[in-house]
Chains A and B, each alone.
Chain A
Amino acid sequence: MSSERRSAMHKMFFREAIARAVREEMRDNPNVLILGQDVGRFGGSYREFDGLFEEFGPERVRDMPVAEPAMVGMGVGAAAAGLRPLVSITYMDFMMLGLDPLINYGAKLRYKTGGQLTAPVVVKTTAGAKGQGVAHSQCIEAWLMSVPGLKVVAPATPADAYGLLKTALRSDGPVVYVDHKRLFPVAGEVPVDEIAIPFGSARLCRSGTDLTITAHSFMVRTALEAAKLLEKAGLSAEVIDLRSLAPLDINTIVASVKRTGRLLTLEEGQITTGVGAEVVTRVMEHLGPIDFTRVGPLPAPVSSNRVLEAACLPDAARVATAARLLQSSGKLVCSN
């Protein structure tokens, strides 16, 4: 597969980018299969597996009972024994049920067997708040970043949804692939060529000079909106889409902050021990003390209540306010 070079582009929905990546890999390798709820004839809760059941049949696109511990365990075990499963967990909240087999077996397998076995499994899951309540809204990818042996990626665009999933399905160890409920209405250009996006590579999506905003997943869109607001206020924000949380592309972020001098990290997950905490710390390990602020949700569960959900989640206006505070005070800003 070629690296990120110019290719003819084709506009498609986020879900179509996912289906395309999976379809190509399933055509290419008979060992790729899907395990999940409503992935078969139903085509996935977001139609992200549309057409795959029709093309590949019930043996390779398997509807499973609700039993995340066993389903993740089976995916991990099947991977260890030579298959390449994609395990679909519809709500990231329910990944918690599968963390034991994923982490205690899957992520540790290569190490604990002294290299004899490895588990090339992709756990694909949808994070994020969208009116569905406290147990159907979480973004917990930060919890997974520190697990030795586990890779974690989060696309923010259809092109990256496609490219990162291609790489995930060809990885030789466990990968958690996190998309987001609010990304599914998004359409975007995807290369016609089969271009995989390597892990450990962040994407500069907007150049700027006054501060660096890092974000991932749906919050990249919020960051870009905030950048537009800031532009009107005379502030030039550079926006970096992390794309890959583990491994993290710290060099791209460091190079940016070196130029802009200020860092605002944005995430929908909690900022306590969050993605931003790790980004800030690593940047400072490279550059020494910098002006920074972490922006995230309120430290509360995210209710399905429309008013309370909106109060909890970061939006462009809040990000812009935090950025202006960062710029004017030049000091640590506590965002909640």
Chain B
Amino acid sequence: MLYKISVPQVADVEEIRILEWHRQAGEPVAQGDLVVELETHKAIVEVRAGQNGYLRKILAEAGNWQGIGLPLAVLSDGQSEPVPEDVQALVDLPVDFEIT
């Protein structure tokens, strides 16, 4: 199954800047792994995977901006499931996020 990671709903935040990706496309992701760090106007948000999977496609590179709730990356259970063009319809991968 395919999933997307979206920008978490952080209170009082309209958009974020991607600070750093901690996994690259093709790499496995374990539950609890730090996938990406996002910058809000106030703090840094650490986005961790809520379950195991594979990071398949990064939709926005570090330094780019994205709005709350919009997609950042595509993940999948299996290593080689085909990635669709339209990612909006994908289910959101459960994530844990922590504001530091």
Contact = CB atoms under 8 A, between A and B. Distances in A.
A and B directly contacting (CB within 8 A) = yes
Interface of A: 11, 13-15, 46-47, 184-187
Given A13-B41, A14-B41, A185 B65 contact: no
B65 A187 contact: yes
Contacts of A47: 41-42
B85 interface: no
Nearest to A47: B42
Given A185-B14, A187-B17, A11 B65 contact: yes
A187 B42 contact: no
A177 B42 CA distance: 21
Nearest to A130: B12
Nearest to A12: B17
A187 to B, nearest CB: 6
Contacts, number: 25
Contacts of B39: 13
7 contacts: A11-B17, A11-B65, A13-B39, A46-B41, A47-B42, A184-B41, A186-B41
A15 B41 CA distance: 7
Nearest to B43: A47
Contacts of B14: 185-187
Interface string B5-44: 0000000111101000000000000000000000111100
Q: How large is the interface on B (under 10, 10 to 19, 20 to 34, 35 or more residues)?
A: 10 to 19
Contacts of B41: 13-15, 46-47, 184-187
Nearest to B12: A185
Q: Which 3 A-B pairs have the closest CB atoms?
A: A13-B41, A185-B41, A185-B14
A185 to B, nearest CB: 5
Contacts of B15: 187
Most buried by A among B13, B17, B41, B65: B41
B87 to A, nearest CB: 23
Most buried by B among A14, A46, A47, A185: A185
A46 B41 CA distance: 8
A174 to B, nearest CB: 29
Contacts of B17: 11, 13, 187
Nearest to A184: B41
A184 B17 CA distance: 14
Contacts of A14: 41
A187 B12 CA distance: 13
A11 B39 CA distance: 13
Nearest to A186: B14
Interface string B58-88: 0000000100000000000000000000000
A13 B15 CA distance: 10
A13 B39 CA distance: 10
Contacts of B13: 185
A120 B51 CA distance: 58
A202 B39 CA distance: 31
A186 B15 CA distance: 8
A47 B39 CA distance: 12
B96 to A, nearest CB: 23
Contacts of A186: 14, 41
Contacts of A13: 17, 39, 41
A13 B16 CA distance: 9
B84 to A, nearest CB: 29
Contacts of B40: 185
Nearest to B64: A11
Nearest to A11: B65
A46 B12 CA distance: 13
A197 to B, nearest CB: 21
A185 B13 CA distance: 6
A331 to B, nearest CB: 38
Contacts of A15: 41
Contacts of B65: 11, 187
A156 to B, nearest CB: 15
B44 to A, nearest CB: 11
A8 B12 CA distance: 29
A11 B40 CA distance: 13
